[in-house]
Amino acid sequence: MNTSTHKFSQITTFVFDIDGVMTDGNVHVLETGEHYRTFYIRDGYAIERAIQAGYRICVITGGKHEGVRKRLNNLKIHDIYMGSGGESKLQIYLRWLHDSGISEENILYMGDDLPDYQVMSRTTLFSTCPADACDEIISVSNYISNKNGGKGAVRDVIERVMREKDEWLKFE
């Protein structure tokens, strides 16, 4: 059994960034100044499957657009941290980790850019990234998806975890 396979089998919790992970990183700006992002439906389906199977999902993002929050709420994600309020993602992650009581060995974190670096450099958690992540993030990742951000990277890691535990094809 290789390290990645072994680590996938230990995961009970997923932590995701938004821009560049759940979306392709593009921000579309309307004439009104309103921003919108595009989410990949298959990533959303995998998130719903994971939640139904009892996995915990957390999102930590620097953005704070209400449309994104609505999408996350529609997916039934409860642990949502939007806008840093001056805190780093590491500070937010450590507070969430303490409050949740989850063992870091059971967490898969997926990020794509430098704001995720401090969290992803932690050696206890399982750090993953999309194929199009920046070089620094790729260098600290335990697993690099063959999918780009917003194009199936989230589904890739969820599906790998659930397949490792023979849960992906279970329908109830």
Tell me the per-residue pLDDT of 110-141, one tens digit each, with 9 for 90 and over.
999 999 999 999 999 999 999 999 999 999 99
CATH of the domain at 104: 3.40.50.1000
Is residue 172 one of the residues assigned to a domain?
no
Q: Assign residue 148 a region (left: φ > 0; alpha: ψ between -120 and 50; beta: otherwise).
A: beta
Is residue 159 one of the residues assigned to a domain?
yes
Which tokens in the block code for residue 144? Answer: 């690099």
% of the chain exceeding 90 in pLDDT: 80
Q: Quick one: pLDDT band at residue 4, thresholds 50, 70, 90?
A: low
For the chain, what is the domain count?
Answer: 1
Q: Quick one: pLDDT band at residue 2, thresholds 50, 70, 90?
A: very low
Q: Quick one: pLDDT band at residue 30, thresholds 50, 70, 90?
A: confident
CB 111 within 8 A of CB 133: yes
Is residue 171 one of the residues assigned to a domain?
no
Is residue 170 one of the residues assigned to a domain?
no
Is residue 145 one of the residues assigned to a domain?
yes
pLDDT exceeds cutoff 50 at 164: yes
- Bind-site residues for substrate: 19
Domain range for 50 is: 4-165
- Bind-site residues: 17, 19, 112
Give me the pLDDT at residue 126, please.
Answer: 97
Q: DSSP letter at 158?
A: H
Give me the pLDDT at residue 66, please.
Answer: 87
Is residue 17 one of the residues assigned to a domain?
yes
Is residue 129 one of the residues assigned to a domain?
yes
Give me the pLDDT at residue 5, please.
Answer: 63
- Residue bearing the bigger pLDDT, 143 or 86: 143
Span 61-89, average pLDDT: 90
Give me the pLDDT at residue 6, please.
Answer: 76
Say how far apart CA 125 and CA 147 lie, in whole Å.
21
Say how far apart CA 170 and CA 120 lie, in whole Å.
31
pTM of the predicted structure, to 2 decimals: 0.93
CB 77 within 8 A of CB 59: yes
- Bind-site residues for Mg(2+): 17, 112
